[in-house]
Amino acid sequence: MGRKLLTEHVNVEGIETFAVYRKHGGYRAVEKALKMTPEEVVEEVKKSGLRGRGGAGFPTGLKWSFLAKPEGVPRYLVCNADESEPGTFKDRYLMSKLPHLLIEGMIAGSYALGARTSYIYIRGELLYVLRILEKAIAEAYAAGFLGENIQGSGYSLDLHVHPGGGAYICGEETALLESLEGKRGNPRNKPPFPAVQGLYARPTVVNNVESIAAVVPILNMGGDEYAKIGVGKSTGTKLFSACGHLNKPGIYELELGVPVEEFIYSDEYCGGIWKGRELKAVVAGGSSVPILPKELILKTAAGENRLMTYESLSDGGFVTGTMLGSGGFIAMDETTCIVKNTWNFSRFYHHESCGQCSPCREGTGWLEKVLHRLEHGHGSMHDIDLVVSVAKQIEGNTICPLGEAAAWPVAAAVRHFRDEFEWHVTHPKEATQPGAVYRGNLVMA
């Protein structure tokens, strides 16, 4: 059993209240930070090697150090709590169970960045979590950890929670900022980056919920100690949300480096595939990352054990590897139709495209339509190449990464399961029977 830095006290009765959270060591990181200079706090986070937990994996300390600091101009820390990547449900869990952990991270982070007002942008569907956070924030104000002159340090901070309105695109940081300004969630052209012109055109850092929460254990134990956990450049612990055809779906905090096979099959974690079935494929880091067949998710192409780390999961690039992404781990058993699943994901991206860039607006619609045709037995062999070609033409040609997010799953599905797509073309009658699934690749494996 690995160390738990974020969720150690998650099952303590009343941990969502200030008093109980404080009794279990809460707000020590803030007290520690306020005795350091802001630069020293940034330095600790840099030393920790913490990489953004929202999906991109960009080093958090480095992101903080890019923040422009013009004299007399307010700057902002904005927490991205717009968790909407299919397969990802860790932030909802963290915020509803441990609201004070996020608030503590927000105070320490805001102090490090010199922000005097900070926002938590939470997806609109999670209004009930917004209520939990608002209650916890009121407690933190009452205890002197928010507001004027926090704990007599001279540092003041206001923290607010802001709901979205239902739009996956607002997880993209510049779309999130537009939305926070009361507009449609259309991503902005970059540069300028948010670090220079973010919220209200002022310097802004946008960080994922889990990244901000991780600042708390980093300050408590020190960046160097945190960096000792994990493997290589994958330091610390990470929350993985496991779903799909598993015996024990749920949220697991792992020291980075647990073998994928252990994560899926060990009773300590997901407990294997449900109903005694075989694993067919895994989407390891949220719906946007390439799907891998069983053989390639358990072992790399070179035959090494695949680990739950940024590097190991991306070993082999997009040919035989995938990405750690957001930690949304979707397991599919042998009865899963990959064509149907790919069509479902494409429908999602088409639905969620903001419509600004033609390649994405039109391309995601094409993908959905052609995949629907293939799934329903009306496709041709040409259609299989067509979806790959459309995906390629979306990729890299859009303002924001939703284009890539829509393209990658399709390209990977055809790459690894082409025979299943072809079977839908050659055997339309069989393929459209309810519950029918192509099993050729499993026989071969």
Partner 1 sequence: MEPTTAAAKPQFSPAAQAEIKRLLTHYPDDRKKSTLLPVLHIAQAEFGGWVSPEVQDLVAETLGLRSIEVYEVSTFYTMFNLKPVGKHVLEICRTGPCMLRGSDELTAQLERITGAKVGETSPDGHFTLKEVECLAACGFAPVVQVREKYYESLDTEENVDAMLSELKSLVHRPILPWEENGLPTSLQNK
Check binding of 356 to partner 1 (CB under 8 A): no
Among the residues of 77-126, which ranges form H helices?
Answer: 90-97, 99-113
Check binding of 125 to partner 1 (CB under 8 A): yes
Check binding of 204 to partner 1 (CB under 8 A): no
Closest to partner 1 by CB, 63 or 123: 123
Task: Single out the residue of 48, 207, 287, 312 in contact with partner 1 (rule: CB under 8 A).
Answer: 287
- Report yes or no: 63 and 205 within 8 Å, Cβ to Cβ: yes
Closest to partner 1 by CB, 69 or 131: 131
Q: How far is the CB of 331 from partner 1 (least distance, A)?
A: 9
The separation between CA 42 and the C-alpha centre of its own chain, rounded to angstroms, equals: 22
Q: How far is the CB of 382 from partner 1 (least distance, A)?
A: 26
Amino acid identity, position 399: I
Closest to partner 1 by CB, 226 or 265: 265
Q: Which two tokens stand for residue 146?
A: 């928010």
Binding mask 161-200 for partner 1 (x = CB under 8 A): -xxxxxxx----------xxxxxxx--------------x
Task: Single out the residue of 38, 50, 63, 85 in contact with partner 1 (rule: CB under 8 A).
Answer: 85
Check binding of 83 to partner 1 (CB under 8 A): yes
* Rg of the chain over all Cα atoms, to the nearest angstrom: 22
Looking at 21-29, 122-130, 209-217, 422-430, which segment touches partner 1 (CB under 8 A)? 122-130
Check binding of 344 to partner 1 (CB under 8 A): yes
Give the DSSP letter string of 348-368.
Answer: HHHHH--S-SHHHHHHHHHHH
For 335-358, letters b (16+ CB in 10 Å) and e give: ebbbbbbbbbbbbbbbebbbebbe
Looking at 41-49, 203-211, 230-238, 243-251, which segment touches partner 1 (CB under 8 A)? 243-251
Give the DSSP letter string of 256-281.
Answer: TT-BHHHHHH-TTTT-SBGGGPPEEE
Nearest Cα residue to 179 out of 161, 191, 163, 203: 163
Nearest Cα residue to 186 out of 360, 436, 383, 388: 360
Closest to partner 1 by CB, 46 or 92: 92
Closest to partner 1 by CB, 223 or 409: 409
Closest to partner 1 by CB, 116 or 382: 116
Q: How far is the CB of 162 from partner 1 (least distance, A)?
A: 7
Q: How far is the CB of 245 from partner 1 (least distance, A)?
A: 6
CA distance 400 to 397: 9
Check binding of 249 to partner 1 (CB under 8 A): yes
Check binding of 420 to partner 1 (CB under 8 A): no
Closest to partner 1 by CB, 47 or 162: 162
Closest to partner 1 by CB, 183 or 228: 183
Residues 22-41 that bind partner 1 (CB under 8 A): none
Instruction: Write the DSSP symbol of residue 259.
Output: B
Number of residues that bind partner 1 (CB under 8 A): 56
Nearest Cα residue to 173 out of 400, 404, 405: 400
Closest to partner 1 by CB, 217 or 249: 249
Check binding of 368 to partner 1 (CB under 8 A): no
Check binding of 144 to partner 1 (CB under 8 A): no
- Report yes or no: 111 and 67 within 8 Å, Cβ to Cβ: no
Looking at 59-67, 301-309, 314-322, 344-352, which segment touches partner 1 (CB under 8 A)? 344-352
Tell me the torsion sign for CA atoms 43, 96, 132, 121.
Answer: positive
- Report yes or no: 63 and 53 within 8 Å, Cβ to Cβ: no
Furthest-apart CA atoms within the chain: distance in Å = 74
Check binding of 272 to partner 1 (CB under 8 A): no
**φ, ψ at 163 (rounded to 5°):** -85, 145
Closest to partner 1 by CB, 84 or 322: 84
Strand stretches in 167-326, DSSP E: 204-208, 230-231, 234-235, 237-244, 250-255, 279-283, 291-293
Q: How far is the CB of 33 from partner 1 (least distance, A)?
A: 24
Q: Which two tokens stand for residue 210?
A: 């889990």
Check binding of 332 to partner 1 (CB under 8 A): yes
Task: Single out the residue of 1, 11, 71, 128 in contact with partner 1 (rule: CB under 8 A).
Answer: 128
Q: Which two tokens stand for residue 42?
A: 């940034």
Task: Single out the residue of 45, 136, 218, 251 in contact with partner 1 (rule: CB under 8 A).
Answer: 251
Q: How far is the CB of 411 from partner 1 (least distance, A)?
A: 17
Beta-strand relationship, 204-208 and 76-81: parallel
| CB neighbours of residue 278 within 10 Å | 13
User: Could you list the residues that contact partner 1 (CB under 8 A)?
Assistant: 83-89, 91-92, 119, 123-128, 131, 158, 160, 162-168, 179-185, 200, 241-245, 249-251, 283, 287, 328, 330, 332, 336, 340-341, 344-345, 348, 351-352, 354
